[in-house]
Amino acid sequence: MAKDLHRQAKAIGLRININKSKLVTNQNTDRRPPFIVAGQQVKQVSEFVYLGQTIGDSTKRQKEIGRRVTAGWRSFFKYKMIYTSKRTPIFLKRRLFNSCVLPTMLYGAETWSLTKREENWLAVAQRRMERIMTGTSLRQWKTNDWLRKLTQVNDVMRSYWQRKWRWAQRIAKMDEDRWARRVTEWQPRIGKRGRGRPKKRWRDEIVKVAGIRWMAIAKKESCWRQLKEKFLNPKAAVI
């Protein structure tokens, strides 16, 4: 397949950049022959950044969440003078935060399956930004609810749930041969699973609210809309 891709690309004047091409596998390939394309060996790595997201052989999201939080802070400090200025109206700060910082922090978030620790990581980063926006320090003993009423910015976790809910409906409406849907329905484990707590899956939160037939429900716009608010408030959801 790689040779065919190289041949077809060369026929129309395109060239594969081997230095930017990486090989990632979910199996041990140390004993296999090297992967050669256009006479050059493609480097095998455990993870790399592709289209702004970290892709690797690990299911853990800590590195990707860390990258998103760092990118959010970078976007925030890009307009630090506006956020920290007392002359800037709070509604302008809120609009800038919702349109620049939150999308940066949640880039690709619809495909995430976060743990409580990772959710708290994002929420803490947002609260720190809000305190900088309002010039409020921890020594002033202002609650998070008071801070949110003052800034009125979109909550990062609620925005995350919204993205995931919209993406779930989009997957349900896809053709069965689309990769996104095939991966969502894929059952990788065959036979008896190992000991320990089951790994968290992307669709677990969707199933808790909409049931195992969530794809059929997602195709019905009215039913899906009724379940949306229940999903956006997971603590109140009935399992």
194 in a structural domain = no
214 in a structural domain = yes
Q: What per-residue confidence (pLDDT) applies to 62?
A: 79
Q: What per-residue confidence (pLDDT) applies to 71?
A: 93
How many other C-beta atoms are found inside a 10 Å radius of the C-beta of residue 84? 14
Please tell me whether residues 170 and 214 are part of one structural domain: yes
Please tell me whether residues 73 and 128 are part of one structural domain: yes
Please tell me whether residues 24 and 69 are part of one structural domain: no
Q: What per-residue confidence (pLDDT) applies to 77?
A: 93
Please tell me whether residues 68 and 147 are part of one structural domain: yes
- Taking the chain, what is the end-to-end CA distance rounded to the nearest angstrom? 45
Please tell me whether residues 165 and 229 are part of one structural domain: yes
Q: What per-residue confidence (pLDDT) applies to 57?
A: 58
219 in a structural domain = yes
* Distance, CA of 145 to CA of 210 (rounded, Å): 30
Please tell me whether residues 148 and 212 are part of one structural domain: no
Q: How many domains does the chain have?
A: 3
193 in a structural domain = no
66 in a structural domain = yes
Domain that holds residue 165: 161-186+201-236
* Distance, CA of 47 to CA of 44 (rounded, Å): 9
Q: How would you label 6-43 residue by residue, b for 16+ Cβ within 10 Å and e otherwise?
A: beeeeeeeeebebeeebeeeeeeeeeeeeeeebeeebe
Please tell me whether residues 142 and 209 are part of one structural domain: no
Q: What per-residue confidence (pLDDT) applies to 28?
A: 61
Q: Which residues contact 224 (CB under 8 A, 6 or more apart)?
A: 169, 210, 217, 218
Please tell me whether residues 79 and 134 are part of one structural domain: yes
Please tell me whether residues 91 and 166 are part of one structural domain: no
Please tell me whether residues 182 and 131 are part of one structural domain: no
Please tell me whether residues 13 and 82 are part of one structural domain: no
217 in a structural domain = yes
* Distance, CA of 20 to CA of 9 (rounded, Å): 16
Q: What per-residue confidence (pLDDT) applies to 127?
A: 94
Please tell me whether residues 116 and 149 are part of one structural domain: yes
Mean pLDDT by 10 residues, the chain (239 residues): 86 87 72 79 81 67 86 93 89 93 92 88 94 89 90 93 94 89 77 74 89 92 90 57
